[in-house]
């Protein structure tokens, strides 16, 4: 199965999350087969990221969005954590600082876009400004409704600078979210991840769903697509995300750069020196 094709929101599609099964697991019936597949894909991801870093001609931006407890942190840890930290960065976008709020909503985002040779992962992103800002009426409809066009233009500019963009929505249902909240309450090591606002935000689930439906529909473009990943099963979420990232990177046509020195001359010079040293040691 081509996971990019399966889960991609095609440009112009009208998304209805209520019709997408968050418990879907494709051909996998359980955790074991999926985790075995992830291990193999992760080896490939490590090599692809090394190639991206070595080539230094393009970059990759991965945006993660989701309802609370859908697994953004887990996705980063279990799937994207195999990449070399020298060539990757992770940035989480929370409530804007005073300085950030004094600029346009994309100002703080652009500063963290990946340089050539780099992979950047956004844990939440510029989409908060058409999600949280909309649901909580932080700005008027006249303001947030114009941001879709601004986002598309911003991403088009990144693509023009050879940044490949993958936008992933981790899709869970309300029952799964409540189960995960309970796990956090029952596990002392997870208490820091739970807050009263997590429960109050649940009351706004219909509003968030409506906001996501519109954001996914209006901003999934050919060069900056959205992927809706069924995420009720963490093991399948990890598999789907890793496959989509690997498939995307494989399609980028990356190549190792040509050497900037005469490899033959260096090999000849130092190989001869090594032979002379070995001969001297043997006497």
Q: Residue 264: which CATH number?
A: 3.40.50.300
**Cα dist. 206→15, 67, 73, 133, 203 in Å?**
14, 11, 24, 15, 8
**Cα dist. 266→256, 262, 263, 276 in Å?**
19, 6, 5, 15
pTM for the whole structure: 0.92
CA 200 to chain centre: 27
What tokens were used for 124? 């939440």
As for how many domains the chain has, the answer is 1
What is the residue range of 226's domain? 3-282
Q: Could you count the other beta carbons within 10 Å of the beta carbon of residue 113?
A: 19
pLDDT for the residue 120: 97
pLDDT by residue for the chain (283 residues), tens only, comes to 899 999 999 999 999 999 999 999 998 888 888 889 999 999 999 999 999 999 999 999 999 999 999 999 999 998 788 999 999 999 999 999 999 999 999 999 999 999 999 999 999 999 999 999 999 999 999 999 999 999 999 999 999 999 999 999 999 999 999 999 999 999 999 898 888 888 999 999 999 999 999 999 999 999 999 999 999 999 999 999 999 999 999 999 999 998 878 777 777 777 666 666 757 766 6
């Amino acid at each position: 199965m081509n996971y990019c094709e399966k889960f991609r929101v095609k440009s112009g599609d009208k998304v209805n999350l209520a019709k997408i099964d968050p418990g879907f697991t494709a051909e996998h019936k359980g955790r074991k087969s999926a985790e075995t597949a992830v291990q193999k894909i992760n080896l490939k991801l490590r090599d692809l990221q090394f190639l991206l870093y070595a080539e230094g001609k393009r970059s990759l931006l991965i945006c993660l969005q989701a309802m609370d407890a859908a697994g953004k942190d887990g996705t980063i840890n279990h799937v994207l954590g195999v990449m070399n930290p020298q060539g990757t960065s992770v940035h989480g976008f929370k409530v804007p600082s005073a300085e950030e709020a004094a600029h346009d909503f994309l100002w703080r985002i652009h500063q963290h876009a990946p340089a050539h040779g780099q992979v950047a992962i956004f844990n939440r992103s510029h989409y908060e400004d058409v999600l949280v800002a909309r649901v909580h009426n932080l700005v008027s409809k006249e303001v947030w409704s114009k941001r879709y066009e601004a986002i598309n233009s911003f991403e088009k500019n990144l693509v023009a600078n050879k940044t490949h963009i993958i936008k992933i929505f981790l899709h869970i249902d309300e029952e799964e979210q409540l189960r995960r909240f309970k796990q956090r309450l029952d596990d002392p090591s997870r208490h820091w991840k739970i807050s009263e606002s997590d429960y109050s935000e649940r009351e706004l689930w219909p509003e968030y769903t409506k906001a996501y439906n519109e954001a996914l529909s209006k901003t999934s473009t050919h060069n900056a697509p959205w992927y809706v990943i069924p995420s009720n099963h963490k093991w399948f979420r990890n598999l789907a995300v890793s496959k989509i990232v690997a498939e995307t990177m494989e399609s980028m046509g990356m190549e190792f750069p040509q050497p900037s020195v005469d490899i033959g001359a260096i090999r000849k010079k130092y190989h001869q020196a090594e032979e002379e040293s070995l001969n001297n040691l043997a006497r």
